[in-house]
Structure 1
């Protein structure tokens, strides 16, 4: 059967991610939602169903092949989410094309390269904490701006081999804008042009001066005779690594610190050895997924779900990670509670199956270093404003705070 309810209109400002996720989940495991521009997708909010669809070969990420609205000309070039579907990299690839691109990226983004970043992550954390410690006593600081935000960005600069300060500043500004879901057509066009310019400049500089970095590694793959990696795919892959590798880690750190400061009994569990920092990281990913809703996937053919709902061939699918993370079917009646001692912390915050985030080990490594370093350095850390004063990111994709004001002591 076809779902009869009117689509639930997602709030592009992301004013209350979890309340909206609860409404989506309340409509059923698969429910139509309206995206900006009036386009409709199926939001999948039940964890077990989402996990199933993330591994189903009848679900694609390539709009050019499988999204009916795209092929019928209903998606304008200035659509606010266009960058999430129009890029040509492993994020939007399907089948053999995805395997080709992921294999090439994996050759450059190795476990060895990730592990080798540990000393630099520790040094960057120490430097950022020293800067925070220079704050006059009693003065609030924005922990997102001063710690959660610059850490993964500086790590990405290291990973990319990017030393040019001007290009770093442009890359930072682009990363800021890429997750907003309230952008105007003019802003969309400008962001797309800027992304192309940044990545082309980065590739040109590394072709001239290659090093032991991810950019040079991908260029080397691209330069091989009969290379299957196109220039467009090279630039779009670097853009993917920037956006996915930055915002998710920022929100993970932001949400973990916020949760611990608003739940002091949970922080006590960690300090007194009843829970580990790994427990904090996984419970944060479950409780407050850094990416609340991830666009988009598409039904390759009709898919009938358990409750009789049919995803029609060409329908769009939205992975509702924030809703799935608090699914009471998996996590019980207290699924909305933050509990680092929770026995079942299963989540899909980094995806699942062939599209599992290739940068997940790096994000976990950064958090495993940054969180204990922060709370060891500032054991009396506290929020500088009430919960109601915190403003969410202007997005139904990115799940974090615009600022996280704290007092260090």
Structure 2
């Protein structure tokens, strides 16, 4: 660990909120942190500071503004480079970002998202029907049998990935590998950095051969053919869409389920609201986004000049991350009730920044919300009294994703 760093961000901390979150907040509005591989960055630990970093043009997404990288101080085999060096939505600003974002925005417009409702409901019902075959009283993994396959099928449908399962399974494996911050250099370089783009190019070639047109993949390809996007930008956009289109939503569903079952009063209140003709699921989803953000850290922004953030100066060229696990439970931002508890009736839960702020705000936010609301509604309608396993759900070793490898439950 670098001697200047105040805290080391582990890929899989033993206590994400009780140890890491509190320690980051205690370090002040800006903390110096070390990442795996000894790479040092700044972490902004307040809600307003995080919103500033994500929304202020003085913080760029372009890696050319990262001083340590341009000076050759970041190892070429650093595993996280695969994500932050890619050409796509996550790594560009200004007009380039708007150009890359436009096809995604068209595909995820409010009208097109709402048109997906019957498809999402059908997928949820099919997955739950399969879970109904689990013997009474027997544990099952809700993450891998319901929360994950639901958004994976939805995003693969949007991308026009064949339904035979082979390619969908490979994209799921590549996505998980890309977000594994504990992976070795060889795995990242050979398995992820090479196989992911190769797999997506193979998908494009298959779709060209079939003459496919009406899906997001071919919208991006058409933009490339017309000179609006480069091949690297198309692949970068597809990588981001595959990962962001299912990983975060699966986490959101699991966190909401865990919140409702950890605090049974919240589930009782939801049932009472349903009986009164109200819809409780949007409030539950918003609180889940705050209580356990699907993303652990938003990485990276690079300061293009010295910037004052709540009395602390972030220097030009420094890399900055936004640790949502610390910010979303800050007692100053979410004072009442206790931010550590799951409370869907919280008056200011919607002030969370789980989907980001400013021009880089997640374009798939409305789809993620819709999928989570449908998933929760159908799940608790089909299995009114599920129970969590007494064993804690194991988290994935990732600096970017806040999720579980599995979520053992008993469905009753």
Post-superposition offset of 1:397: 2.3
Which of 369, 372, 375 is matched with 1:367 structurally?
372
2:153 paired residue number: 154
Residues 1:276 and 2:280 aligned together: yes
Task: Give distance in 2, aligned partners of 1:108 and 1:390.
Answer: 34
8 Å CA contact 2:68, 2:317 repeated in 1: yes
C-alpha distance after superposition, 1:166-214 (max 9, x if no partner): 2222111112212111110111112111111111111112222213111
Q: After superposing the two structures, state which structure 1 stretch, 395-404 or 294-303, moved more.
A: 395-404
Task: Give distance in 1, aligned partners of 2:247 and 2:167.
Answer: 18
Task: Give distance in 1, aligned partners of 2:270 and 2:203.
Answer: 42
C-alpha distance after superposition, 1:328-380 (max 9, x if no partner): 11211611111111111110001010000011111001011110100000002
1:166 paired residue number: 166
8 Å CA contact 1:175, 1:246 repeated in 2: no
Residues 1:214 and 2:216 aligned together: yes
Q: After superposing the two structures, state which structure 1 stretch, 212-221 or 94-103, moved more.
A: 94-103
1:47 paired residue number: 47
8 Å CA contact 2:395, 2:402 repeated in 1: yes
1:234 paired residue number: 234
8 Å CA contact 1:251, 1:290 repeated in 2: yes
Q: Classify 1:235/1:74 alpha carbon distance in 2 versus 1 (closer, same or farther; 3 Å).
A: same
State the SS of the aligned residue for 2:332. helix
1:356 paired residue number: 361
State the SS of the aligned residue for 1:31. strand
8 Å CA contact 1:291, 1:349 repeated in 2: yes
Post-superposition offset of 1:75: 2.1
2:313 paired residue number: 310
Task: Give distance in 2, aligned partners of 1:14 and 1:254.
Answer: 19
Post-superposition offset of 1:83: 2.2
State the SS of the aligned residue for 2:302. strand
Task: Give distance in 2, aligned partners of 1:282 and 1:191.
Answer: 32
1:13-28 → structure 2 map (5 Å cutoff): 13-19=12-18, 20-28=20-28
Post-superposition offset of 1:5: 6.3
Q: After superposing the two structures, state which structure 1 stretch, 287-296 or 74-83, moved more.
A: 74-83
2:199 paired residue number: 198
State the SS of the aligned residue for 1:272. helix
Task: Give distance in 1, aligned partners of 2:294 and 2:327.
Answer: 13
Task: Give distance in 1, aligned partners of 2:292 and 2:80.
Answer: 22
Q: Classify 1:370/1:89 alpha carbon distance in 2 versus 1 (closer, same or farther; 3 Å).
A: same
Residues 1:298 and 2:287 aligned together: no
Residues 1:29 and 2:29 aligned together: yes
8 Å CA contact 1:275, 1:340 repeated in 2: no
CA RMSD of aligned residues (A): 1.6
C-alpha distance after superposition, 1:134-188 (max 9, x if no partner): 1122211110111001101111111111115322221111122121111101111
Task: Give distance in 2, aligned partners of 1:123 and 1:159.
Answer: 15
Task: Give distance in 1, aligned partners of 2:110 and 2:341.
Answer: 34
Instruction: Provide TM-score, normalisation by structure 2.
Output: 0.94
1:121-160 → structure 2 map (5 Å cutoff): 121-160=120-159
Write out the 4+ residue segments of structure 1 that deviate beyond 6 Å after TM superposition. none
Which of 396, 401, 406 is matched with 2:409 structurally?
406
Which of 320, 327, 330 is matched with 2:330 structurally?
327
Task: Give distance in 2, aligned partners of 1:108 and 1:287.
Answer: 29
Post-superposition offset of 1:275: 7.3
1:391 paired residue number: 394
2:260 paired residue number: 260
Task: Give distance in 2, aligned partners of 1:123 and 1:343.
Answer: 33
8 Å CA contact 1:139, 1:407 repeated in 2: yes
Post-superposition offset of 1:405: 1.0
Q: Classify 1:306/1:136 alpha carbon distance in 2 versus 1 (closer, same or farther; 3 Å).
A: closer
State the SS of the aligned residue for 2:24. helix
Task: Give distance in 1, aligned partners of 2:307 and 2:110.
Answer: 36
Q: After superposing the two structures, state which structure 1 stretch, 192-201 or 91-100, moved more.
A: 91-100
